[in-house]
Amino acid sequence: MFTQLNINAGLAFGAFAIALFCFAASLKRNLSRIQHATYLIICLSCLVCPLTGIAEELFLVFGKDGDGLLWLFMGSEVLFFVFHSFLAPSFGLYVLSLNGTLVGRRKRLWLIYWIPCMIVELANIANIFFPRDARPLYTVTVGEAGNYLYQRGDYMFIFYIVAALYVLLSLFAFIRNIRALNARKIASLISFYVATLAGVVIQFFWKDIKFEAFFESVSILGLLVLLESDTGIINNNTGLYNEMAFYNDNATAMAAKRKYTIITIQSPDYFQYLEMLGQTNYNGIELLVARYLTTIVKSQYVYHLSNGAYGIMVYDERQNDVDMIVQMLENRLAEPFGYGAIEASPRWTITVAKVPNDIEDASQLHYLFAGKNGSFEKKVIIRDSLSLRFIKRRSKIEGAIARGLRDHNFKVYYQPIWDASRNKIVSAEALLRLIDPELGFIGPDEFIPVAEENGTIIELGHWVFEETCRFAKNNEIKNLGIEWLEINLSVYQLPEKDLPGRFLEIAHRYGLPPSFLNIEITETADASNDNELLDRIQNLVKVGFPLSLDDYGTGYSNFTRLIKSRYRTIKIDRSLLLSAEQGPIGKSVLSSIYKTMNGLSFRTIQEGVETEAQKNLILSFGAQMIQGYFFSKPIPGDEFIEYVMKFNKIKFIA
Ligand code: C2E
Ligand code: CA
Ligand code: CA
């Protein structure tokens, strides 16, 4: 008798101590998060159940008829059932909150969830009011030897059925939404199910030893260690959830197919302010921003992300408030933040994304932070679905470029260049094409800027250069009357280490002199004022590559530089031709350009000639060479060979 009591008391104290520890550890959590709140309820019931368990044991051993404590015995039983009945539904809620089913849902719905539990609780209370020998659930009596007795009633199974109902519900939710859980959560929950189930099973076969509560406490300790820890998901400065939590919560909610809105706030001036104010002062500003955000949205939905950005999640019932929230943010962020003697007035970008319309997967969250931020005219910029669509498209193109390089989806097309004086195709411009299996045809105007920004232009540029050389060599295009080829070079390729040497090496490998390969460069205002870049352009000339100035007449053309410089050929942009067609001013501009270029002995190529009239017009100005749809669009290599053979009347000698 005593040993059994000792074992049970030991188990109960152990269970109690563990539960107390878990309870205390979770009090500091952000309890407005359902996950943490339900965990606290679970701890509470694990705390009370072993206490009442010990009391019951003591009464069974030491209780005697006539000591007047029978009501206390009954009372601890009632308490035990009150708290134990909360366990299964709380755990069910816990699972639902972990897998994103619950977050932000209307409170009214939860009430329905609690109904079976409440019925059981009421039955538990009502049980006391039945006569002692006819209590339906359980009863406490005095046995023949004067000892206390505990007896189950006929309807006790109701407790088990309701508990099983909740456990099954949680299991169902667990399995249905398993995609929303990461491996760690899945492993933790499975261990929890197994440990509590083991407790119940052992209890069933070994009725005298009270294992159940002990197993329950050990299980919640497991949850505490594995899932309830906030370390790593809290920002130290503001105490808000951090980027990791933001990512996880979004992944969970998206996998649970929730519809909601994400608002992110970021400042393009973050690094500048950080440097200007120092970390300590900037922390102060961040605290002010964080405090403001938590006045308009509950803190469990506000995240403090890296690089001074913030995220807000707006779920179900507040969806209609999104416009209002954004409006409030816009108004506040336009104003400065004052901290001590410091006043910071950074610019901000607010991005509003609807899930799943704008973003359907957590892997796309980076779109929210991508793209150009801020503008100098406005303090606060708001980006919505439309700008996100651009960013997404851009990101898809990045994918297509990577695929293209890997799977050889890039093609080089050639557009013939006609020489007027000899009525002959003398050259061609190599133009890149990307045919992606997913996105279809993508024009260079779309993918070149993306490749320039993400750096793939260097690899791409090499590929075009080599592919063009290979084409020239394999088809011996010199024999067809092609005197040189034009290859585009982006200024973003210039920083590459020893670019001239590498290009030269490729040309030599295909037996081509560098003079056969004209490199086309579009100078931007930036590039033309950057001596370093100009030197690098000059280095190409030094090793023997002739240069063409592309797009002459668009936006920026620095004439002084041009005169001094290094270009052999000037490619005159289509826009100048179009304005020449439109009126006398455009005509005299273009004709004087031709006069100047011819006077300076530059070679010229007119771009974008589509009609006979256009051709005749510029020939009258003194144009030398023409490239345009009038002769041919850019075409694949084999078609180009055919075209040139026909045009230059070359007999194919087998
Ligand atoms: P770009 O260098 O100015 O190339 C000429 C563009 O004008 C080509 O567009 C060509 O198809 C188009 N074009 C030619 N004749 C006519 C015409 O008669 N009418 C009209 N409306 N257009 C004509 P594409 O192939 O779409 O290339 C666009 C731009 O993409 C190129 O402009 C160039 O800046 C860039 N690009 C293309 N391939 C490469 C490449 O391999 N490397 C680099 N860095 N840029 C490239
Ligand atoms: Ca070009
Ligand atoms: Ca051009």
Residue in 274, 277, 269, 270 with CA at minimum distance from that of residue 342: 277
- Classified as helix, coil or strand, 349 is strand
* Nearest alpha carbon, ligand 1 atom 37: 431
Segment of 144-153, 516-525, 632-641 carrying the highest mean pLDDT: 632-641
| Pocket perturbation via mutation, ligand 1, pick of 401, 418, 448, 570 by most ligand atoms within 8 A of CB | 448
Q: Is the CB of 432 under 6 A from ligand 1?
A: yes
- The length of the chain, given as a count of residues: 654
| Predicted confidence band of residue 230 (pLDDT cuts 50, 70, 90) | low
Cβ(189)–Cβ(91) under 8 Å?
A: no
Distances (CA, A) of 211 to 144, 195, 646: 28, 11, 94
How many CB atoms are located within 10 Å of the residue 223 CB?
Answer: 24
Q: Is the CB of 611 under 6 A from ligand 1?
A: no
- Which atom belonging to ligand 1 lies closest to the Cα atom of 520? 2
Q: Is the CB of 448 under 6 A from ligand 1?
A: yes
Cβ(287)–Cβ(304) under 8 Å?
A: no
Is residue 379's pLDDT more than 90? no
Is residue 264's pLDDT more than 90? yes
Stronger pLDDT, 384 or 317, i.e. the higher one: 384
Q: What mean pLDDT do residues 72-85 have?
A: 90
Segment of 47-61, 296-310, 458-472 carrying the highest mean pLDDT: 458-472
Backbone angles phi, psi at 320, to 5 degrees: -70, -15
Q: Is the CB of 449 under 6 A from ligand 1?
A: no
Residue spans of beta strands (DSSP E) within 277-409: 302-304, 310-314, 337-339, 342-344, 348-355, 380-383
Which of 48-52, 83-87, 361-365, 537-541 has the lowest average pLDDT?
Answer: 361-365
Pairing of strands 440-442, 424-436: antiparallel
The mean pLDDT value of the chain amounts to 89
Q: What mean pLDDT do residues 103-130 have?
A: 86
Q: Is the CB of 416 under 6 A from ligand 1?
A: no
Helices marked H in 256-355 — which ranges?
A: 270-296, 322-333
Domains delineated in the chain: 2-226 (1.20.1070.10), 243-383 (3.30.70.270), 415-647 (3.20.20.450)
| Predicted confidence band of residue 654 (pLDDT cuts 50, 70, 90) | very low
* Nearest alpha carbon, ligand 1 atom 3: 551
Is residue 425's pLDDT more than 70? yes
Stronger pLDDT, 484 or 378, i.e. the higher one: 484
Cβ(369)–Cβ(309) under 8 Å?
A: yes
Close Cβ partners of 407 (under 8 Å, ≥ 6 residues apart): 437
- Which atom belonging to ligand 1 lies closest to the Cα atom of 610? 18
Q: Which ligand is nearest to the CA of 468?
A: 1
- Which atom belonging to ligand 1 lies closest to the Cα atom of 452? 44
Distance 607 CA to ligand 3 centre (A): 6
| Predicted confidence band of residue 565 (pLDDT cuts 50, 70, 90) | low
Which of 77-91, 93-107, 247-261 has the lowest average pLDDT?
Answer: 93-107
pLDDT for residue 560: 61
Is residue 370's pLDDT more than 70? yes
Pairing of strands 260-266, 348-355: antiparallel
* Nearest alpha carbon, ligand 1 atom 21: 608
Q: Is the peptide bond before 356 cis (omega within 30 degrees of 0)?
A: yes
Tens-digit pLDDT profile for residues 455-480:
999 999 999 999 999 999 999 999 99
- Which atom belonging to ligand 1 lies closest to the Cα atom of 573? 3
Close Cβ partners of 420 (under 8 Å, ≥ 6 residues apart): 619, 623, 624, 625, 626
| Pocket perturbation via mutation, ligand 1, pick of 431, 610, 626 by most ligand atoms within 8 A of CB | 431
- Tell me whether residue 278 is exposed, middle or buried, using C-beta atoms within 10 angstroms of its C-beta: 0 to 12, 13 to 18, 19 or more: exposed
Distances (CA, A) of 536 to 20, 568, 600: 71, 17, 24
Stronger pLDDT, 653 or 199, i.e. the higher one: 199
pTM above 0.75, yes or no: no
Close Cβ partners of 121 (under 8 Å, ≥ 6 residues apart): 82, 85
Q: What mean pLDDT do residues 251-264 have?
A: 90
Is residue 574's pLDDT more than 90? yes
Tens-digit pLDDT profile for residues 159-206:
889 999 999 988 988 888 787 787 888 888 888 888 888 888 888 888
Q: What mean pLDDT do residues 492-504 have?
A: 94
